[in-house]
Structure 1
């Protein structure tokens, strides 16, 4: 063997000893979190009654396969329609085109030997969630000490939306692809991103935000090139990957249009969900319009008026910008996590109509949990953990299990 190889130098055993505690530590955290989440699901199933999505006598399995999980299963079994279904009023109805194909078909392949799509879906969510924890730890460890990185993973594993790690949703898988991509960018290793970008883009929406992130990252690297060189090779990779993310981000719309013969097939499908709140919602997609429309709707429903809502939204945007730019704990995470978080929040502001899914759609900014873990105070960390678990209880029981009886238009 060549001189200096890991085997000759005896470093293989050293690396194994070094990595095993890290993997086991994360595994213990993750398994403990899943036990807590399962307990919450059991209680929520018992509390679900008439008028809820699940009804009386629901079991844990019913909750694990609830809501969007049914759509992913339906995609795996029936594929995508070549003719868009219409409502009685002639508008496009809810249909499979709103759900991207990687997760449902992968779950179908994994679950086939067991004769159950649900098994495949839950296995993917559980395994991808654990692997995402491992990558998150590695990513945080680039900027934080071991204690803070571990606590960042704890907050992530026990987070208010941690139920997505064990339900039939695509979030866990998307988070794995995303964390791997951010970690690779932070390490300046770009090759695997050419594969990860389409995996992200066909798992769930959000790859356009990654394209924006790469654009902002390129600008940041250019203006800081005196402290960290930005060679031509890296410039080519970052620009090419940014363009690749944009192409992938629009590809599903093109595919839906080609299959259905209707250019607006995907956007019209997405608007079908918006009509659950605004029955007259239709027409062309306009960036920012959905969010502004939603703010006006909700603040009007709460009796505070649209103007109050716009002011509140403006203050929230200013607060988030200040947090990402100036808050010292957030700055410790490095430019990659901060630029990604800003890009994704801009993306949500541009395309999303705020409703009951907004909490789940914020999960991709989970690397920010590292900032909450920076303070060394045990009291602080325990308090954040307790609040996270309380938030998880609230989301599982009220938002998810109670469903139609809890989240209602005032």
Structure 2
């Protein structure tokens, strides 16, 4: 039996004795089976870094933090402007935050909560219907009154209801966006929603935040095709903020699209009937408040004449002529022919926006809502200082703005939106002398 050869690296004293097993050659081992070097896990090393901790949070926690941060910035803006505010019809000079957060239409809601709606329409000296409570729907003031009954004053309760409804809207909006966008883009869409120029309305004594919550909910239900749940939500929304008639058009267009695509996207008979019923119900609910005003006052035009009372400050006594308001506004602001040219240009620009790839990513149903609401506003609205607030239900467009991922773009957009937010508060919310720019 022959002995195994000794290693070449062995010294004289370490050489193997005859018949002893050979020592392993370290060099040969290194060449044959290199030792594995265990690198530290980057996640473990940086697991407590802000970016990683942010990503480890559940989606709802991130939405809540975004919303709270945005509202904190808005609160700073409000505190600055409240300190600069002079005496006005609703407050003295330098009002507190809660008092300052309940100017303008907030006082109409407080009046409704305490006294309800007039059974006889107030009239001006010329016999025209004057501004009155019928312009404001009842759900928000009733909810605030219920919260105020727990021991809070009206101002605190109004802000609390708006704040909570805005948070709910942000959460539902995220669930809506996540159906069309990747998680980071959906979250940035929420950021845009929370810092938008009119986002302060979600902590002011207005019904918009509650309207956003209900609108986001019905849009999510529509996208998920859960038609049965639309009935109760639409009913509440119809008595919270205007817009149900636009959603009825959305449902009708949605039905047509599904019918046309039924070969590729099955449209069962049961869903056909349910979607059609939801569209009819929404249309009926959309005129529910007009009917309520008619029944109480005995005047068929009580609601529309009340809305026109705000327009009379610009145009004098006018009748409601569908699709005339925008052109009348263009004429008032710019004269002719530039007023008409501007309106036509806006219509063309909006149509082009809907064709952008980033907007097309939002799916057919959300684009149908954008078209429907735009047509609704074109038919009944007169653009003035509250235009930006009235346009806020188009918030699904935030999803299109969230598509670019460049860090410089996202940070720049947030800064620009916050600057516009402060500008909106200065121009529309703060009161200077005989202010004619209500939000």
State if a TM-score over 0.5 links the two structures. yes
User: Shift in Å at residue 353 of structure 1?
Assistant: 0.8
> Matches of 1:35 and 1:179 in 2, distance apart?
23
Does 2:331 match 1:296? yes
Deviations along 1:109-159, one digit per CA (max 9) or x if unpaired, are 111111522232212111111111111111110111100000000010111
Other-structure match for 2:28: none
For residues 403 and 327 of structure 1, do their structure 2 counterparts lie closer, same or farther at Cα, with a shift above 3 Å needed?
farther
Q: Is the 8 Å Cα contact of residues 140 and 370 (structure 1) preserved in structure 2? A: yes
> Matches of 1:36 and 1:227 in 2, distance apart?
47
Residue from 328, 342, 352 that aligns with 1:312: 342
SS at match of 1:191: helix
Q: Is the 8 Å Cα contact of residues 128 and 176 (structure 1) preserved in structure 2? A: yes
Does 2:118 match 1:81? yes
Other-structure match for 1:399: 428
More helix by share: 1
Other-structure match for 1:116: 153
Does 2:382 match 1:341? no
SS at match of 2:188: helix
Does 2:106 match 1:69? yes
> Matches of 1:314 and 1:373 in 2, distance apart?
28
Residue from 142, 158, 174 that aligns with 2:211: 174
Q: Which consecutive unaligned segments of at least 5 residues does structure 2 have?
A: 1-54
Q: Is the 8 Å Cα contact of residues 86 and 92 (structure 1) preserved in structure 2? A: yes
Other-structure match for 2:202: 165
- Supply the RMSD in Å over aligned alpha carbons: 1.9
Residue from 311, 317, 322 that aligns with 1:281: 317
Other-structure match for 2:359: 330
> Matches of 2:431 and 2:158 in 1, distance apart?
23
> Matches of 1:149 and 1:408 in 2, distance apart?
34
Q: Is the 8 Å Cα contact of residues 398 and 406 (structure 1) preserved in structure 2? A: no
> Matches of 2:234 and 2:66 in 1, distance apart?
29
Q: Is the 8 Å Cα contact of residues 330 and 342 (structure 2) preserved in structure 1? A: no
Q: How many residues align?
A: 384
Please give the residue correspondences for 1:151-300 in structure 2 after superposition, counting only pairs within 5 Å: 151-278=188-315, 280-283=316-319, 285-299=320-334
SS at match of 1:257: helix
Q: Is the 8 Å Cα contact of residues 386 and 437 (structure 2) preserved in structure 1? A: no
> Matches of 2:348 and 2:107 in 1, distance apart?
38
Does 2:55 match 1:25? no
> Matches of 2:396 and 2:56 in 1, distance apart?
21
Other-structure match for 1:14: none
> Matches of 2:359 and 2:437 in 1, distance apart?
35
Question: What's the TM-score once normalised by structure 1's chain length?
Answer: 0.90
For residues 131 and 19 of structure 1, do their structure 2 counterparts lie closer, same or farther at Cα, with a shift above 3 Å needed?
farther
For residues 147 and 403 of structure 1, do their structure 2 counterparts lie closer, same or farther at Cα, with a shift above 3 Å needed?
farther
Other-structure match for 2:76: 39
User: Shift in Å at residue 398 of structure 1?
Assistant: 2.0
> Matches of 2:89 and 2:205 in 1, distance apart?
19
For residues 82 and 367 of structure 1, do their structure 2 counterparts lie closer, same or farther at Cα, with a shift above 3 Å needed?
same
User: Shift in Å at residue 298 of structure 1?
Assistant: 1.1
Question: What's the TM-score once normalised by structure 2's chain length?
Answer: 0.84
For residues 128 and 241 of structure 1, do their structure 2 counterparts lie closer, same or farther at Cα, with a shift above 3 Å needed?
same
Q: Is the 8 Å Cα contact of residues 156 and 366 (structure 1) preserved in structure 2? A: yes
Q: Is the 8 Å Cα contact of residues 53 and 401 (structure 1) preserved in structure 2? A: no
SS at match of 1:114: coil
Moved over 6 A (4+): none
Other-structure match for 2:400: 371
Answer 1 or 2: higher relative contact order, Cα 8 Å, separation at least 6.
Answer: 1
